[in-house]
Chains A and B, each alone.
Chain A
Amino acid sequence: MSPLVSVGDAPTLAERGRDAAGMALVALLLGIPMIGLSTVDQGGALRVLTRWPLLGVFVAVAFCGRLLLRYALDLLKSRRQKRDRGRSAGAAATQAAWHGGRVIDAVGWLAFAVALVLPFVFADNRYFIDVATTVLIYVMLGWGLNVVVGLAGLLDLGHAAFYAVGAYAYALLATQLGWSFWAALPVAGLVAAVFGLALGWPCLRLRGDYLAIVTLGFGEIIRVVLVNWTELSGGPNGISSIPRPSFFGLPFAPPGDAPTFAASFGLEFSPMHRLIFLYYVILALSLLTNALVARLRRLPVGRAWEAMREDEIACRALGMNVTNVKLSAFALGAMLGGVAGVFFAARQGFISPESFTFNESAIILSIVVLGGMGSQLGVVLASLVLVLIPEIGRDFSEYRMLLFGAAMILIMIWRPGGILAHREPTLRFRGLRTEDR
């Protein structure tokens, strides 16, 4: 950090070459077994396939890439050092953080406005509305998990379990007992919350990574039970023809005997109505989640979550009931996940255990962490990024998950605290603003 370091720091061309050659060697070793060689099945027996030219390209790219990357990084570093020497870094950071908070507020309201008018602008673009709905489902899941991970600081790798519980609860209530979407929504949420308590209870004494593996195991248990308990869940085939939500009793259907949505409002029937309605339902649900979480953060229970995240022992010493704090976080997070699951089941009309694998949990957790833990707008940005990468990649679909994995690593390295690492403090001394400190 000291400016002294930069003197005579620039590596010579030979050093750069050697560095890049080392990288090329590693690339060669990495590439030989995976790119250079491959096996194909020919009539039951494997045959080796060689792709040396491709390997050559890979190694060359690694060499040039390393050379350029190092050069760019060095350039950036020296520039930053020159700039930092001029002014005190501390003051600049505080200034930026203060402005950051206001910018984030503005972006949040802007995003809200865009989300509100979006279906009118793209009213005939079915694909667009579908993707936007998917993004919102992840936003809601992310906000739910944010309570557990971001606020209470409990690492949960099995959030998809609650998503699954909500989805299956609605699917069963609707197909077996004929419940409507709106009646099943709170009940399914409660069922998920009960599951959250069931998971939270054995986890009370666990910390950190032990907790992570138990939540992961819980997620797998739920999935395996769903796959195998065929009488209840339909097994791997899942549950199909789940009723779609109606507009408060008015179904979205072509004109018939019963009053429909289109007929009642004097509109011409269009299948888009239901999609747009679904979009607004999930938008309302996620905004409700956001409002609830924002409100809870100002209540004693929310304060307790954040206090426990910072220091559990101190909380105990202050006489807080850590058991209740943990369980309430798990229950609320699970309930929100379950509500998202209900919506998912109603929107898809078909669910199977395939949709609730560990990958799903990993993606939801990534959304929370990539967004910046505890940041509500960060979750929105991260959901956008993580849903849009595979969508954009549809044209070269084999590469999209590869890209997805690489993007997760790169974003993390680029911003280890998440896209929006800055977070407004929940509490502040009256009269003292961040910039005065």
Chain B
Amino acid sequence: MALALQQLINGLTLGAVYGLIAIGYTMVYGIIGMINFAHGDIYMVGAFIAVTGFTLLAAFGVGSVPFALLVVLAVAVLFTSVYGWAVERLAYRPLRGSTRLAPLISAIGMSIFLQNMVQLTQGARVKPVPPMITGGVDLLTIDGFTARLSYSQVLIVLVTVVLLAAFTWLITRTSFGRQQRACEQDRTMTALLGIDVDRTISLTFMLGAALAAVAGVLVTVYYGVVDFYIGFIAGIKAFTAAVLGGIGSLPGAMLGGLLIGLIEAFWSNYLSAEYKDVATFSILILVLMFRPSGLLGRPEVEKV
């Protein structure tokens, strides 16, 4: 019981992070219909900015953890969204309107480029960050095992919930949100109505990158280690989450993220940690066999 509760907590924490990254995939897919393979690496860039930021602040002698966190979050979001913008501008915009596979290959190239750039400029070694948020609450003790909710887990879930609320508001209530949704439905028509489609797409990429940056900062705080390869694994998992939930759907991305987090946590604890990725992908394949457009995705209606 206590063990299951612990896995539930771990799974939800992991799932929140996957969900944050998955939103970036799903939004980009919704608006321009491409898999942004470099998105996982944008998240990795965010994590590296967090490492540098925390180290810098520590060097300047900033001791207050909430202040450091806020500053690093802001800085990471700022710089990472510039990365999101640049990636779209350099690698995807010139290819808009060409075949469906062209931006995919360019995205794979961008992913390889970013990974190697970070490896070159920041070093290939794993970067350790000293734990900042320690302690937690003991929830339940049964048979000598204590389920524990650490403060960093509380932070991750809290930040995710706040961001999701803000994000839902942004997409459903603001003028930008309407423009964004309009672009998803019909880009040509939106352009005819006088909306700057290029700007909307750029902003979408920046927003996705910003969320990925937050995920990167949170993971840096939570795990305390970062290397240039984390983007690939997290990216694939988050993309799986987006597809599982139904690509193009924002609540679907979050749901998919949470599901994948839970599957991983429970599977690695009760069955085998080595095969957790097999479990994730098998469940994805099973779900897609019966619901070909994901859990919350709208079934594609094809007109002839």
CB contact list, A147-187 vs B, under 8 A: 149, 155
Q: Is the CB of A210 within 8 A of B108?
A: no
Q: Does B64 belong to the interface (CB within 8 Å)? A: no
Let me know if B247 is at the binding interface, CB within 8 A.
yes
Asked if B94 is an interface residue, CB under 8 A from chain A, the answer is yes
Stretch at the interface among B8-16, B96-104, B164-172, B178-186: B96-104
Q: How far is the CB of A257 from chain B (nearest CB, A)?
A: 46
> Which one of A96-104, A246-254, A344-352, A365-373 is at the interface?
A365-373
What is the bound-complex CA distance between A358 and B274, given in angstroms? Answer: 18
Q: In chain B, what residue has the closest Cβ to A415?
A: B102
Give A63 Cβ to nearest chain B Cβ, in Å: 15
CB-CB < 8 A to B121: which residues of A?
34-35, 38
Contact among A44, A370, A399, A408 for B128, CB-based, below 8 A: A44
B284 touches A26 (CB 8 A): no
Contacts of A317 in B (CB 8 A): 304
B285 within 8 A of partner (CB): yes
Given the known interface contacts A358-B232, A365-B105, A398-B120, the answer about A217 and B284 at a Cβ–Cβ threshold of 8 Å is yes
Q: How far is the CB of B65 from chain A (nearest CB, A)?
A: 17
State whether the Cβ of A288 lies closer than 8 Å to any Cβ in chain B: no
Alpha-carbon separation in the docked complex, A408 to B103 (Å)? 11
Complex formed: what's the CA distance from A242 to B128 in Å? 40
Q: Is A272 an interface position by the 8 A CB rule?
A: no
- Of A314, A373, A413, the residue contacting B101 (CB under 8 A) is A373
B136 at the interface (CB under 8 A from A): no
CB distance from A140 to the nearest CB of B (A): 20
Interface: A405 (CB within 8 A): yes
A405 touches B129 (CB 8 A): no
Q: Given A26, A38, A412, which contacts B52 in the complex, CB threshold below 8 Å? A: A38
Q: What's the count of A-B pairs with C-beta under 8 Å?
A: 186
Assembly CA distance A214 to B285 (angstroms): 6
Question: What CA separation (Å) do A412 and B302 show in the bound complex?
Answer: 30
B113 CB-CB contact with A under 8 Å:
yes
A362 within 8 A of B: yes
The majority secondary structure among interface residues of chain A is helix
Number of interface residues of B (CB under 8 A): 73
- Considering only residues 244-274 of chain B, those with a C-beta below 8 Å from chain A are 247, 274
B18 an interface residue at 8 Å Cβ cutoff?
Answer: no
**A110 on interface, CB distance cutoff 8 Å:** no
B284, closest chain A residue (CB): A217
Q: How far is the CA of A399 from the CA of B121 in the complex (A)?
A: 11
Kindly identify, within residues 350 to 388 of chain A, every residue whose CB is under 8 Å from any CB belonging to chain B.
358-359, 362, 365-366, 369-370, 373
Q: How far is the CA of A313 from the CA of B29 in the complex (A)?
A: 24
Check A33 for interface membership: any CB of B closer than 8 A: yes
Which one of A37, A40, A401, A413 lies within 8 Å of B95 (CB-CB)? Answer: A413
A119 nearest CB across to chain B (Å): 32
**Looking at the complex, which one of A39, A402, A407 makes contact with B116 (CB distance below 8 Å)?**
A402
Q: Which residues of A contact B51 (CB under 8 A)?
A: 39, 46
Please choose the segment from B82-90, B145-153, B188-196 that sits at the chain A interface, where 4 or more of its residues have CB less than 8 A away: B82-90
Q: Do A48 and B59 have beta carbons less than 8 Å apart?
A: yes
Q: Mark B259-303, 1 if CB is under 8 A from A, else 0.
A: 000000000000000110110111011101100111000001010
With an 8 A cutoff between CB atoms, is B122 at the interface? yes
Cβ of B29 and Cβ of A26 under 8 Å apart? Answer: no
Shortest Cβ distance from A230 into B: residue: B274
Contact B116 A405 (CB under 8 A): yes
Query: Which of B95, B109, B232 has the most C-beta atoms of chain A within 10 angstroms of its own C-beta?
Result: B109
Interface presence of A404 (CB below 8 A) = yes
A217: chain B residues within 8 A (beta carbon): 240, 280-282, 284-285
A224-B278, A228-B275, A405-B109 known; 4 other A-B pairs, CB under 8 Å?
A33-B49, A48-B55, A373-B99, A404-B109
Binding site for A on B (CB under 8 A): 29, 35, 45, 48-49, 51-52, 55-56, 59, 78-79, 82-83, 85-86, 90-91, 94-95, 98-106, 108-118, 120-123, 125, 127-130, 232, 236, 239-240, 243, 247, 274-275, 277-278, 280-282, 284-286, 288-289, 292-294, 300, 302, 304
A-B contact pairs, 20 of them (CB 8 A): A26-B82, A29-B78, A34-B118, A34-B122, A39-B55, A45-B130, A48-B55, A48-B59, A206-B288, A209-B29, A224-B277, A227-B274, A228-B274, A228-B275, A313-B302, A370-B105, A401-B115, A413-B91, A416-B102, A417-B99
Spell out A's residues near B (CB within 8 Å).
26, 29-30, 32-35, 37-41, 44-48, 149, 155, 202, 205-210, 212-214, 216-218, 220-221, 224-225, 227-228, 313-314, 317, 358-359, 362, 365-366, 369-370, 373, 398-399, 401-402, 404-409, 412-413, 416-417
